Structure 1
């Protein structure tokens, strides 16, 4: 009998199928620490390639792990049961940018930052902006309902997906939604696919909503002595009638790592950092910035810098995007947990993180999207290969997630559940909601071939 690779090569063509050791290793993992090689990698170049692969896999009950840029943090792209790693990275065309309709039509392998740059040339805007926007793909963003700093004002990926083409487990190609900005024709199949983490279907095309790019943006960067002062500043800004496009905060461990990696001169003073971005028409932005500067100064910041215009603002964002790399530079492994708490719990969250650090002996770095309560709590561990250290790290994570659930928070805001958060999934949702997930999975993937081993089992 022909091997799996030979059968797929005959079905798709040899240029679409790989079993080289390098390819298998590359497609065995994402940015989480887990790894397991597939038996074969399929490099799909069209919806028809995806359809043929899934039809074949479904008939033969072969596990399929959909993959894009593989930069997720929860093991969602790890082929836990081997089988086929189905990569859509080569499906990377921006098919259309239709300004008159306010849409872009893209393949799933398009890099998020590349789409943003192309529509920006035309004076338009695709707002979702994960920190990894220069390397993450839109298909992955859709699979995890990715967010980013601008969620506060502009929303997450789900709010920009008007239409999808997706291939189901049996190979059938389903189109839902379209290019209309309002559409209530039947069930929301688009919404069902967004955030489904590759377990209900494989997206092969997306029609994304575009909006006019604000002509001006401005930012302020402020350092404070304590995280409590920064959290108070967040509440005061929102309570004063401002709706920033982004409200970011960082704690002292994050700032300390940034000073070591980037240098003292580019890292704000203090033990807590506040970053605020606003956008709109030039005159209104200038006026709002002046009011915000006065407000933040009155709240007791110890340093404050302003930026007006794209180039100056990007210098501030460069610092923010370097936080993750600064933490990696410590030599520790970053267990990056994108939890969400009600905004009023921000100070309690950081206090709790400090208690975790004292109890378990691991540094904890907290930074992220204060405007919507989505804070990245990073437990920094020396290794996950030592059984004793791993057990202690898992115990710390267990404490963190159960506290978040007790606060009526969410165990993930934008990374997804994947494997990393699988053991807290059942505690995070009611039993009836869990049963509904299982029914949907059984209806669309009765043989359980799509991304098996992740949070649904």
Structure 2
């Protein structure tokens, strides 16, 4: 991976930062630099120094210093991304928000929570649940990922179908701009049409427009009950047709998760052949609401799935049973890793009507390239994780072949009205396809916004806007 030589002296950077923040917040230890050089993607590049911010004032001071001295800064949350988004490809400073991990307040009377960016998503959910409220966004990594990272990537998850992605829950932000200025936009109001939607600009901006230091998030009353059906179908097309049928019949589940043959086979090998009954597709339907409504809807959906060809249906009627099914669902990714192959996790999105065509294309891609493809994910919103399972990925020739396969996949996705990322972001992994994905006019607008806020291009450099 190429990088631009820094216009600063790395040898003196840490000592110079001691005049900005406490020495205990600065590290050049080899193990710290290594940890902060990568995420869950393969790319890696060490920073020259890691600064652990503990306040908005720290972030502002570091960015002011970096701006004055032309030092690249890459912000890092929990580091569990899949696209190299927090890899400091030009070295410089990694600005960690991990220590900014306080829930500053939960206010049911306003329906909001105010948090620092390092708060773990699952911890916020648990805290909201304790007072009878809920924060719906639920990425698969919710026990590890941070709110700041969720906002930076506009993270999703299974419940997006009914409740929407992270952007739907961001009411206000405190953001430190690349030159150190502190911006506050939005607040506790659930409606606010004052000026441009600056919250929308920063949500999903992948750390290239500013550093989020505080978020005001919308909460909703926690549904009184939830229940699930886990159905096995003989063929994938039957499960995909069931997704459309459920929605067309007026149901709006909180989650609709579909799984293909390859993924089911891997799960059976990891968890036991009897965990999932015989069949080539798996569909999870989750509903929530008032107890009587959930009970009635669950029976109606059960009968509907039977009529649509489900060969086996498991009911889950309480929290413990639902969590058991979700635990099995979360094992799918680990099951694929157990194959010994490198999993290239592509979070592509297609129109729901294209689900069967996507899996058919995946099968043809396997035949053409020799690379197995496993599909599973959020059928309700068309966000299907299409995983290329690559052997000997460290071999440059193999990696080049995998990139050719990705090019075929992304080209098909775009030609069929889809998107190359639904929740992971672009980062480094999908940078080669950004021009094709955005188009020239949209790319120009992205570049203009970047130029307006970060003319020195110091914040998270080397990512998809640095073409």
Q: TM-score, normalised by structure 2?
A: 0.97
C-alpha deviations, 1:213-253, integer Å up to 9, x for none?
00000100001111111110001101111000000000011
**Hey, what does 2:135 align to over in structure 1?**
126
Q: Distance in 1 between matches of 2:18 and 2:332?
A: 43
Report the counterpart of residue 35 of structure 1 in structure 2: 44
The equivalent position to 1:429 in structure 2, one of 429, 438, 445, is 438
Take 1:11 and 1:116, find their aligned partners in 2: how far apart are those partners?
34
Aligned to 1:52: 61
Please state if 1:10 is matched with 2:22. Answer: no
- Size of the aligned set, in residue pairs, is 457
Query: 1:184-195 to 2 correspondence within 5 Å?
Result: 184-195=193-204
Q: Give the CA deviation at 1:268.
A: 4.1
SS at match of 2:364: helix
Query: Which of 123, 131, 135 is residue 114 of structure 1 equivalent to?
Result: 123
Residue in 1 that maps onto 2:95: 86
Match of 1:180 in 2: 189
Question: Aligned runs of 1:370-381 on 2, under 5 Å?
Answer: 370-381=379-390
Is 1:382 paired with 2:391?
Answer: yes
Residue 368 (structure 2) aligned to one of 359, 366, 369:
359
Counterpart in the other structure of 2:224: 215
* CA drift at 1:322: 1.3
2:286 pairs, out of 272, 277, 293, with 277
Counterpart-to-counterpart distance in 2, 1:201 and 1:301: 48
Q: What is the CA–CA distance in structure 2 between the aligned matches of 1:327 and 1:260, rounded to whole Å?
A: 10
User: 1:45–1:429: structure 2 CA closer, same or farther, 3 Å change rule?
Assistant: same
Decide which of 212, 228, 238 is 1:229's aligned counterpart. Answer: 238
1:327-347: per-residue Cα shift (whole Å, max 9, x none)?
111111110000000110000
State the secondary structure of the residue aligned to 1:339. Answer: coil
Structure 1 stretch displaced more, 145-154 or 426-435: 426-435
Q: Distance in 2 between matches of 1:60 and 1:185?
A: 35
Is residue 260 from structure 1 mapped to residue 276 from structure 2 by the alignment?
no
1:340-389 per-residue CA deviation (whole Å, 9 max, x = no partner) reads: 00110000000000111111111110000000100000001123220111
| SS across alignment from 1:142 | helix
Say whether residues 1:320 and 2:320 are aligned partners: no
Asked if the contact 1:32–1:75 (Cα under 8 Å) also holds between the matched residues in 2, the reply is yes
Please state how far the C-alpha of 1:269 moved relative to its aligned partner. 2.9
Aligned counterparts, 1:13-24, within 5 A: 13-24=22-33
Residue 396 of structure 1: aligned partner: 405
Choose 378-387 or 72-81, whichever is displaced more: 378-387
CA distance in 1, matches of 2:255, 2:352: 14
Q: Write the deviation string for residues 256-290 of structure 1: whole angstroms up to 9, x where unpaired.
A: 11111111232343111000000000001000000
RMSD: 0.9
How far apart, in 2, do the equivalents of 1:384 and 1:441 lie?
34
What is residue 287 of structure 1 aligned with on the other side? 296
CA distance in 2, matches of 1:387, 1:98: 53
Deviation digits for residues 64-87 of structure 1 (CA, Å, limit 9, x no counterpart): 110000000000010001111110
TM-score normalised over the length of structure 1: 0.99
Runs of at least 5 residues in structure 2 that lack an aligned partner in the other structure: 1-8
Summarize deviations over 1:136-194 as a string: whole Å, max 9, x none: 00000000000000000000000000000000000001000000100111111111100
* Aligned mate of 2:76, from 57, 67, 81: 67
2:242 is paired with a residue of what secondary structure?
helix
Moved more, 2-11 or 233-242: 2-11
Give the Cα–Cα distance (whole angstroms) in 1 for the partners of residues 320 and 224 of structure 2: 13
Q: 1:149 and 2:174 equivalent?
A: no
1:449 matched to which residue of 2?
458
SS of the residue corresponding to residue 20 of structure 2 reads: helix
Q: Distance in 1 between matches of 2:451 and 2:92?
A: 20
In 2: Cα distance, 1:410 partner to 1:325 partner: 25
Partner of residue 410, structure 1: 419
SS at match of 2:348: strand
Check if 1:440 corresponds to 2:449: yes
Secondary structure at the residue paired with 1:375? strand
Tell me, which stretches of 5 or more residues in structure 1 are unaligned? none
Q: Is the 8 A contact 1:216 1:280 kept in 2?
A: yes
For 1:12, what is the secondary structure of its paired residue? coil
Q: Which residue of 1 aligns with 2:357?
A: 348
Q: How does 1:246-257 map to 2 (within 5 A)?
A: 246-257=255-266
| Alignment check: 8 A CA contact 1:220 1:275 kept | yes
